[in-house]
Amino acid sequence: MIMPKNQFDKFIKSKSNAAKKEEFRQAKRTIKKEIAEGMARTRARKAAEAAAKKAARDAPRPEGLAKGAPVRAKAAPATAAPAQAKPATGTTVKPGKPGAPQMPLNKFLSHSGVSSRREAAEIIKEGQVKVNGQVVIEPGFKVSEADDVRLNGKKLKPTGELVYLLLNKPKDYITTSSDPEGRKTVLDLVRKATTERIFPIGRLDRNTTGVLLLTNDGELAQKLSHPSYEIKKIYEVRLDEELTKKDFETIQGGVTLEDGNIKPDALAYADSKDKSVIGIEIHSGKNRIVRRIFEHLGYSVQNLDRVMYAGLTKKNVDRGRWRFLSEKEVRVLKYLNTSFTRKKPKA
């Protein structure tokens, strides 16, 4: 059932001008900072080059060297590259090309479109990844693009083009990159969208429908999945019976589940004439959290539809269809709640 627009608006509100201005200011500050840092690096490099030239000119000349002849400074001994930590298997992994930029192995997998960084860490711990022919089970092991990194025998390479998709997920599709049981996955719905390897951000269970983001941007996936950013999600829930006022107030005040207390950010009847349809706003990323809230009070969830995720809705995207995010939407996602998390006190 589609929530009536006048009721639906109480859950999905357009951002205020103040919020938009703050996002713009954050983006502007970040760009200015990056430019300033780049200029500082350039100045430091030029100063070092000038100092080296001056030192070469002022260096004492060996006896017998004709005046005006150039003096060649002895090359400084090359600094040995820091040794990489040995993998937990006890084998020594041959390093790739010296001097290549390095990154943690789980980040490398994420940038290769395998999965989010957290999921990549689990894949590595299971021993599915080899670096230069040796199994590595440490997610933080440093690698570069020059290394031969393989997942189950298939060579990986960080992507050159970042892709961002919004899918209106239908029922009976699981939110994984592949399924050993041969069930349909969300990637089956977006195969024609791109040749890049993409993966879903977070999970929706098989029978949950609605907004799902897919990307090969590991850093963005990590951010949107991290609890500290408190990414807002809104669901439309259809129950097997009407939600009583007492249970409504209980959920509003917070319920204690097996993994702790959970309190929604907002709760409302989606239809004043049918109190079995509920709108719930929540930022928790715990597994099956919405279903478990209502099941805890004895209700059965008949349908669960995510109507908004991180400010994005499925408007104009039919069930089972997808669209690319705009540059503006991607930019907003990258700065979403950034100022909020910086101000949060450390635990």
Q: Would the pLDDT of 15 be above 70? A: no
Question: DSSP letter at 187?
Answer: G
Which residue matches tokens 């204690």? 256
The verdict on 310 and 169 lying in the same domain is yes
Return the CATH number at 129: 3.10.290.10
Q: Would the pLDDT of 46 be above 90? A: no
The verdict on 142 and 236 lying in the same domain is no
Check residue 340 and give its pLDDT: 46
CB 299 within 8 A of CB 140: no
For residues 138-147, give the mean pLDDT: 89
Q: Based on the structure, what is the number of domains in the chain? A: 2
pLDDT digits (tens, 9 = 90+) for 240-256: 999 999 999 999 999 99
Last residue of a domain, one of 155, 174, 196: 155
Burial class (CB in 10 A: 0-12, 13-18, 19+), 115: buried
Q: Would the pLDDT of 17 be above 70? A: no
Last residue of a domain, one of 115, 132, 155: 155
The verdict on 316 and 205 lying in the same domain is yes
Which residue matches tokens 């957290």? 118
Q: Which helix (H) or strand (E) holds 313?
A: strand 312-313
**Angle formed at CA 34 by CA 29 and CA 35, multiple of 5 degrees:** 100
- The two tokens of residue 136 are 């590595």
301-309 and 208-215 as β-strands: parallel, antiparallel, unpaired?
A: parallel
Q: Looking at the domain assignment, is residue 13 inside a domain?
A: no
pLDDT digits (tens, 9 = 90+) for 147-202: 999 998 888 887 667 899 999 999 999 998 778 888 999 999 999 998 888 899 98
User: Half-sphere exposure of residue 243, counting CA atoms within 13 Å on the CB side?
Assistant: 28
Sequence-separated (6 or more) residues with CB below 8 Å from residue 119: 199
The verdict on 121 and 212 lying in the same domain is no
Q: Looking at the domain assignment, is residue 220 inside a domain?
A: yes
Of how many residues is the chain composed? 347
Judge whether 205 counts as a catalytic residue.
yes
Check residue 62 and give its pLDDT: 54
Q: Which of 188, 205, 240, 265 is catalytic?
A: 205
pLDDT digits (tens, 9 = 90+) for 256-312: 999 889 999 999 998 888 999 999 999 988 889 999 999 999 999 999 999 999 999
- The two tokens of residue 265 are 């950010």
Check residue 18 and give its pLDDT: 59
Q: Would the pLDDT of 10 be above 80? A: no
Where in the sequence is the domain holding 276, given as residue range(s)?
163-343
Number of DSSP helices (H) and strands (E) in the chain, helices first: 9, 17
